[in-house]
Copies of this chain bind each other. A is one copy, B any other.
Amino acid sequence: MKKQAATEIFESLSSGIRLDIYRLLVRTGPDGMVAGDIAAKLELPATNLSFHLKALTQAGLAAVTQEGRYQRYRANIPLMFELIAYLTDECCSGHPEKCAPSRKPAGSSEDAALLAALGRKRR
C-alpha cells in the first residue's frame, strides 16, 4: 500500500456520512446495496449520496456494478486489512511484542491473537 492510497482511504472515512455508508455496506456484505436504498436508509438527497459514493469508490473502499438502471455498491473489506497492515508493519521497528506494555487492559488476549495474525503478514 502506498501512502497516497492510505490517506485517500482515511480521508474517505473521515466524514460521518461516508462512514455510515461504508458500515452499511460492510453489514450487507457481498449482497451490497443499490444507491437508492442507501439514500432511503440514510435519508440523504441523491445528489449528496452520489458525491460521497464517488469518494468511497475512488478510494477503493466501495465497488460499483450496474444492474439495469440501478447502481449496486459493495464494500471492499480486504482493503481495511491491508490498511492496518500498512500502519502496523514497522511496529516497534520489527519487535511488535514491545507494543504489549503500552496496550490497554481491556480485551488483551483477543488483541494478542489479532497482533499475531498481523505479525504473520509481510515480515
Which residues of A line the B interface, CB within 8 A? 3-4, 6-7, 10-16, 19-20, 22-23, 26-30, 74, 76-78, 80-81, 84, 87-88, 90-93, 95, 98-99, 101-104, 107, 110-111, 113-118, 120-121
A29 and B102: CB pair below 8 A?
Answer: yes
6 more CB-based (< 8 A) A-B contacts, given A29-B99, A77-B99, A114-B117: A3-B19, A26-B91, A29-B91, A29-B102, A76-B102, A80-B84
Q: A-side binding surface: helix, strand, loop or mixed?
A: helix
A26 and B111: CB pair below 8 A?
Answer: no
Tell me, in angstroms, the Cα distance from A37 to B19 when the chains sit together: 34
A7 and B15: CB pair below 8 A?
Answer: yes
Per assembly, the copies of the chain total 2
| Chain B: CB-nearest residue to A63 | B102
Q: Which residues on B sit within 8 Å (CB–CB) of A16? A: 3-4, 7
CB distance from A21 to the nearest CB of B (A): 12
Tell me, in angstroms, the Cα distance from A90 to B14 when the chains sit together: 19
A27 and B90: CB pair below 8 A?
Answer: yes
CB distance from A37 to the nearest CB of B (A): 15
